Amino acid sequence: MGYREYFSYVISTCLGLGYWPWGPGTATTLVIAPIWWWLGLSVSWEVYWALVAIVTLLGLLATSEVLHLLHVEDPSEVVVDEVAGCGIAFACFPDTLLWAVLAVVIFRILDIWKPWPIRAIERNTPGAAGVMLDDLVAGGLTVALILLLKIPTA
């Protein structure tokens, strides 16, 4: 295995978290969520979104390589999509632990259940784009739901 393939596996499995035997996507989200939360509270909006974009781009490239090597549509060990999706989910910048936990719970429910439009995107978008995009949309829907929940009632 060459360097390109090796680094593609390292990135796409999020340093090996994707090999966790029970729910690798959930395990990865539980590890990465506190990091995104801390970043959301610590860096500027521009830096945060730049990091999300970098993770997404690297994830897309690495996942494309891994899918090519494994000849599998969406291998369970590829979890960089959860990292990118969780980054988007935390773009609502939950300011308390309760909102952060709620963001994780909503994101995982959406990613596992895959309601419309997430399932349609997953089914109709081939390759690495499909692997990544359904989690990015789940993250975006999480933001929308959190923001709706945060709207004060009169």
User: Which helix or strand (DSSP H or E) is residue 71 part of?
Assistant: none
43-54 tens-digit pLDDT: 999 999 999 999
Residue type, 114: K
pLDDT for 73: 84
* Nearest-10 Cα torsion for 129, 131, 132, 138: 130
Residue 27's contacts (CB-CB under 8 Å, 6 or more residues apart) are 17, 20
Domain boundaries, the chain: 3-150
Asked whether the beta carbons of 88 and 139 are under 8 A apart, the reply is: yes
Give the span between the Cα atoms of 25 and 14, in whole angstroms: 10
Closest among 141, 29, 143 to 79, alpha carbons compared: 29
Asked whether the beta carbons of 112 and 82 are under 8 A apart, the reply is: no
84-141 tens-digit pLDDT: 999 999 987 778 899 999 999 999 999 999 999 999 999 999 999 999 999 999 999 9
pLDDT for 153: 60
